[in-house]
Amino acid sequence: MENSLNNKVVLVTGGTGSFGKKFIEIVLSKFSPRKLIIFSRDEMKQYEMQKCFNDPCMRYFIGNVRDSNRLHRAFSGVDYVIHAAALKIVPSAEYNPFEVVKTNVFGAANIIDAAIDNGVKKVIALSTDKAANPVNLYGATKLCAEKLFIAGNNYSPKGKKFSVVRYGNVFGSRGSVVPFFKECRQKGQIPITDERMTRFWMTLEEAVSFVLRSLLEMAGGEIFVPKIPSMRIVDLARAVAPECEQIVTGIRPGEKLHETLVSPDDGIHTYEFEDKFVIYPHVVERDFERRDGKPLNTGFAGYRSDNNKHWLEVEDLAKMVEDKEKDDASYSLREAVCGRQRHPVCS
């Protein structure tokens, strides 16, 4: 089993997003990759990212996962792919379903074909709790993408491996509710869709670390699910804006009261480990390392955000908000300093 990214060529789709930036930061601090490639469609975001991440191993490719020809070119010589590109805003997906399918489903198929044709050793795709028992278009497309990646192992040559990481809401990611709550503080009111609502919650650092561990240990065909805490949306609002009144507005199109990471039906094929669950492929069984894991019992009710054993309270969430603000300030300063060093004319 590979246990390092040293001297490897690693490509991240959607690499200018919140996950991609944190992934690059952590990989550069822990490993010495031969190349670290950002593949994304926004040239301005790439330009801004280059100001801070200009290590000699970095490469920036403009492209869209909908474009199979561009993916085939970009994947040439790549060892590992982390597929993070997606359209993911739930209400937007409900209104623009055709566009979301093109990116999240057809884009996933393009990733698989390009990886197989170019001999990529490992591909790990990022998924979401909304893919488990989906009720919205975004979750349905991610479930479809999961199925595509797992099935990719069935028709790829020996040694080409595809796996999935499925996790919940990431604190501090782009589109997170926290920046929205901060904006609402000025008005003195925080809109709450439903006071009963719960969500899984993890930091960007935790998400990246889990993806890296899963990438290095995957055999191909697994869906890795981290054990992470839950939080109540009303507690998050109190942590961000304790002085503000909470106004209940009603659930938006496509939203759930609670999210699920492992459904009871998935539980039939799932093993529990100390820090994670692993859903093994339903169609083809392989020799997987399960020595430290145990199968879930027949009465498994699902791993849901409302039946979780681990909860974040208001104080925990407030500390996370404070730490994230410090991290953002540090990143902005680092970006400004690196930008001046890279572009002296601006100093």
Say if CB 271 and CB 292 are below 8 A apart.
no
**Catalytic-role residue among 8, 130, 161, 256:** 130
**Three-class secondary structure of residue 87 per DSSP:** coil
Say if CB 150 and CB 164 are below 8 A apart.
yes
The type of residue at 228 is: I
How would you classify residue 190: left for phi > 0, otherwise alpha for psi between -120 and 50, otherwise beta?
beta
Return the DSSP state at 15.
T
Q: Which pair of tokens denotes residue 332?
A: 């902005």
How many other CB atoms are there within 10 angstroms of residue 74's CB atom? 22
Say if CB 4 and CB 31 are below 8 A apart.
yes
The type of residue at 166 is: R
Say what the alpha-carbon torsion angle 128, 25, 85, 240 is, to the nearest 10 degrees: 50
Say if CB 227 and CB 211 are below 8 A apart.
no
Q: How far apart are CA 79 and CA 121, in angstroms?
A: 5
Separation in Å, CA 143 to CA 63, 166, 323: 24, 10, 33
Q: Is 130 a catalytic residue?
A: yes
Cα dihedral 197, 207, 167, 85 sign: positive
Say if CB 10 and CB 78 are below 8 A apart.
yes
Residues classed as catalytic:
130
